[in-house]
Structure 1
Amino acid sequence: MNYRMAYIYLDTDSSHWNFRLRTPTDVLRILDDDRLLMVFDRCMGEPGFEAQVRIGAVVKLSLRTRNAAVAEIRKAQALAQLAKVWAAKRSEPKRLNLMQIMGLAGLVHDLYVETFQQEPGERADWIAHKAVNRAVREGRLVDVPPIIPGQMPNEQQLALDEFGDDLTAGINALPRLENGDEGLERRYGLLCNWVLAQQCLRVDYATRKRLLVAIAKAGDTGPRQLKENAIGDYSPDIYRERYPRYRSSRTLQQVFEQWRGETQPAPSSVTNWRGHVDSLVGFVGHDHVERLTRADIVSWKDHLVEKGLAAKTINDSYLACIKRLLNYEVENHRLVESVAEKVSVSSRGQAGDSQLPYTTEEVAQLLTLARGQHKPILRWLPWLVALSGSRVGEVAQLWGSSVKQVGNLWVMQIKPADDGGRLKNHWSERETPIHQAIIEEGFLNFVSDRGDGPLFYNRSSGDRNRKHASKSVCNRLGAWIRSQEGFQDPRKAPNHAFRHWFKTELGALGVPDSMADAIMGHGKKSEADKYRHYTAQRKAPFVNKVQVPEVTASSTVEAAE
């Protein structure tokens, strides 16, 4: 899902934050039911709520809050729910068997009980609700309000008006209507849409009719249990036993695509993880999530070891991918447990494997070589990385508009580029002082000449599903460094060894770890660290403490390109 199509805005009349998202064109073409129920959790003291939404060219709704932080959280909840709906609509309609249909109905029973069990309200409310449901189920009542998941029913007056004081006799006296099936759709249609969206399912017409009937039965069993809860009877739920556990027919590819739609990972991660999914599917010979066993995962892991892959690569990439996808299914109540949990390659760090920093002499050599370059990538990126400790990807996506003067201090605003660039995590966003030596080299003149746009690449496509243009910038710099004599040590990553050197220098100068982490955009190590906030002005003296290695004054140094 393209997050650039989604935004929140403040309604000037109500002062509430609203959500707006353009519906993908391909979804609009196959939309068979434009009704959608969205559920929002209690958040920061504000009550949760359910909203019935119509899907048109855009999806719009009020987030029912004046708090911008709550609005951002609810925006994320809305996007997660819509990602499931889009994934379901894009899938082929499925015909489910009876066991699967009853399994889905069991989820509706669970929704009733889990939502209201702790505070079930009045017994009379559930008696009335159950009576209305029975009349609809038997085709005796058509013009009825829909059931909204999570909303406490209030239908005592409706039941009295339709059936009189004796509910059973009143229902029995009503004739069965020729259009009785219409009542099922009106009453349970939203519930049906909700349960299908939860499972990312799109079903054919025959299955939907059968599912509505099964959900109508859950509209009896759920209230029966709550009717007893309302008088303090919390005996085991015997009604749940009639429903089988729903077994999804979802594939790993479907899970991956839905997870990708919700989380919007970097394009490089998408490419790598898709390859890991293909690897597992190819090894076990099928793509069905429910059929995966722990033995499958262990055998696949052993196969990767036999292929010669490093333990770290298997644990941190291949297995991490599958664990995340299966845990995603557990979190969304589509799996009971992940069969990949606790599966890993046993290993311990070996001498000669860890990454190393450049030496001061090597940094001096590279900065000298960079000084003689005319291409901006080669001229400025080594200096910026070496004397700020930034990740090369952070400075490769710098725009001229992100180089600012704050008081008497020049800083780089490390943030996601406006054309779709990314940072490693939220700790990475920061203001980093520009080392005085870089200013003396003439970097600000270069920025002025380039203008407000990207400094080291032409504007990227902005498509979050494609690699950002700054990625090729990083690769070109790394290849250039590797091409220089004496810079082929595999333990010294060509771009990242600068960062190791800078962190080492800060440590040697006695800079506190919390300050060093703030300068370099490292994650907080403790709860206490989260309360420490360092301005660029406080960082600057420590950045400038790092001495520039002795760089040759000549500006005509030749280097291989």
Structure 2
Amino acid sequence: MPIDTLQRTLERDRGDYGGKPVDPVVTPPAATPEALEPVPIKKLFKDYIASRQALGKHKDGAKAWETAILHLIKFLGYSDARRITKRNLLDWRDKLIAEKKSTKTIADKYLASVRAMLRWAHENDRLPTNEAEAVKQEVAKKRRTREAGYTDAEAIAVLKASTSYQPKQTDNPAHRESAHITAAKRWVPILCAFTGARVAEMTQLRKEDVRKEGDRWVMRITPEAGSVKTGVYHVRRYVGLSHL
């Protein structure tokens, strides 16, 4: 009989039942901690985007960021966010560099999306840590080899190309470009040139967003119509389009 067992027997004979065995032969095994439920990366990303959309952000569903999340899952070979480590993310970053992606794209799209998701998950008790907190990519300074924007000749070429645009001809009606798409391809570049507005802001305009004040046409660009970079409405005025 082991000494530890004999010691427990003598204690019980004295009415002492508080003794605990120390010999591994008679010591009961430690309780095995319960396995934690996995945290699916796709579900985590979906919940994060939903929380941003409740604040009026990522109205497009963050499609560009979703591409980065799917790339990460493919690289990891698993989809449990609990298993992600800082080392994993550093190796992923190096993989992106090896794929010849620009440092700006890596920093502003790939790492930014994962860092935001994991930070939110940590702050909302979905994950115990934010493994992406210190994973960053320095952005190479962009070299400018020419003037910013179009030259006059380039701008004229773009506008001429838009006004003379013709859709591809086909005998199959199902493959014909609709008239409103053709009109958009002709007019959107011109409207952007005259107003300084973005393509997305032009293509989401509604009838009620355009009005005439005296001899000026006015466009009201508002988040009510769709994506606006600044998140606030603004007004663009333009004149002299009748000769185009």
Aligned partner (choices 249, 253, 257) of residue 46 of structure 2: 257
Aligned partner (choices 146, 150, 156) of residue 358 of structure 1: 150
The match for 1:389 is 196
Mapped partners of 2:75, 2:165: distance in 1: 49
**Structure 2 residue runs without a partner (length 5+):** 1-30, 167-181
Cα deviation, 1:355-381, whole Å, max 9, x if unaligned, reads: 941112222233344444574223321
Aligned partner (choices 77, 98, 101) of residue 285 of structure 1: 77
Shift of 1:255: 0.4
Mapped partners of 2:146, 2:80: distance in 1: 38
Cα deviation, 1:303-336, whole Å, max 9, x if unaligned, reads: 1111211111111111111111101112213334
Quick one: which amino acid aligns to residue 105 of structure 2?
A: T
| Structure 2 residue 217 is the aligned partner of structure 1 residue 424 | no
Shift of 1:98: 9.2
Quick one: which amino acid aligns to residue 48 of structure 2?
A: W
Mapped partners of 2:204, 2:190: distance in 1: 15
Cα deviation, 1:55-78, whole Å, max 9, x if unaligned, reads: xxxxxxxxxxxxxxxxxxxxxxxx
| Structure 2 residue 240 is the aligned partner of structure 1 residue 437 | yes
Quick one: which amino acid aligns to residue 436 of structure 1?
A: V
Quick one: which amino acid aligns to residue 256 of structure 1?
A: F
Quick one: which amino acid aligns to residue 83 of structure 2?
A: R
Quick one: which amino acid aligns to residue 405 of structure 1?
A: K
- Tell me if structure 2 keeps the 8 A contact 1:412–1:432: yes
* Pairing of 1:60-79 with structure 2 (within 5 A): none
Q: What SS does structure 2 have at the residue aligned with 1:426?
A: coil
Structure 1 residues 248 and 441 mapped into 2: Cα distance closer, same or farther (>3 Å)?
farther
| Structure 2 residue 218 is the aligned partner of structure 1 residue 411 | yes
Mapped partners of 1:353, 1:268: distance in 2: 35
Shift of 1:288: 1.8
Mapped partners of 2:234, 2:139: distance in 1: 35
The match for 1:269 is 62
Structure 1 residues 372 and 275 mapped into 2: Cα distance closer, same or farther (>3 Å)?
closer
Structure 1 residues 286 and 371 mapped into 2: Cα distance closer, same or farther (>3 Å)?
closer
Shift of 1:281: 2.0
Quick one: which amino acid aligns to residue 386 of structure 1?
A: A
Quick one: which amino acid aligns to residue 269 of structure 1?
A: A
Cα deviation, 1:88-128, whole Å, max 9, x if unaligned, reads: xxxxxxxxx99669xxxxxxxxxxxxxxxxxxxxxxxxxxx
Quick one: which amino acid aligns to residue 437 of structure 1?
A: G
* Pairing of 1:509-524 with structure 2 (within 5 A): none
Structure 1 residues 283 and 310 mapped into 2: Cα distance closer, same or farther (>3 Å)?
same
The match for 1:304 is 96
Aligned partner (choices 103, 111, 121) of residue 329 of structure 1: 121
Which has more helix, going by share of residues? 1
> Please, what is the CA RMSD of the aligned residues?
3.0
Shift of 1:417: 6.0
Q: Which structure has more RCO (C-alpha within 8 Å, separation ≥ 6)?
A: 1
- Tell me if structure 2 keeps the 8 A contact 1:330–1:338: yes
Cα deviation, 1:475-513, whole Å, max 9, x if unaligned, reads: xxxxxxxxxxxxxxxxxxxxxxxxxxxxxxxxxxxxxxx
Mapped partners of 1:395, 1:317: distance in 2: 25
Mapped partners of 2:145, 2:139: distance in 1: 12
Shift of 1:414: 0.8
Mapped partners of 1:354, 1:290: distance in 2: 47
Structure 1 residues 297 and 370 mapped into 2: Cα distance closer, same or farther (>3 Å)?
closer
- Tell me if structure 2 keeps the 8 A contact 1:305–1:311: yes
Q: What SS does structure 2 have at the residue aligned with 1:357?
A: coil
Quick one: which amino acid aligns to residue 298 of structure 1?
A: L
Mapped partners of 1:363, 1:349: distance in 2: 27
- Tell me if structure 1 keeps the 8 A contact 2:49–2:61: no
Q: What SS does structure 1 have at the residue aligned with 2:130?
A: coil
- Tell me if structure 1 keeps the 8 A contact 2:215–2:239: no
Q: What SS does structure 2 have at the residue aligned with 1:302?
A: helix
Mapped partners of 2:222, 2:34: distance in 1: 47
Divergent runs of 4+, >6 A: none
Q: What SS does structure 2 have at the residue aligned with 1:334?
A: coil
Q: What SS does structure 2 have at the residue aligned with 1:437?
A: coil
Aligned partner (choices 182, 207, 231) of residue 400 of structure 1: 207
Quick one: which amino acid aligns to residue 381 of structure 1?
A: V
Percent identity (aligned): 26
**Structure 1 residue runs without a partner (length 5+):** 1-96, 102-246, 443-561
Shift of 1:283: 1.9
Quick one: which amino acid aligns to residue 402 of structure 1?
A: D
- TM-score between both structures, scaled by the size of structure 1: 0.32
Shift of 1:422: 2.3
- Tell me if structure 1 keeps the 8 A contact 2:210–2:219: yes
Quick one: which amino acid aligns to residue 280 of structure 1?
A: L
Structure 1 residues 378 and 280 mapped into 2: Cα distance closer, same or farther (>3 Å)?
closer
Cα deviation, 1:120-179, whole Å, max 9, x if unaligned, reads: xxxxxxxxxxxxxxxxxxxxxxxxxxxxxxxxxxxxxxxxxxxxxxxxxxxxxxxxxxxx
Structure 1 residues 256 and 431 mapped into 2: Cα distance closer, same or farther (>3 Å)?
same
Shift of 1:277: 1.9
Mapped partners of 1:396, 1:353: distance in 2: 32
- TM-score between both structures, scaled by the size of structure 2: 0.68
Quick one: which amino acid aligns to residue 441 of structure 1?
A: H
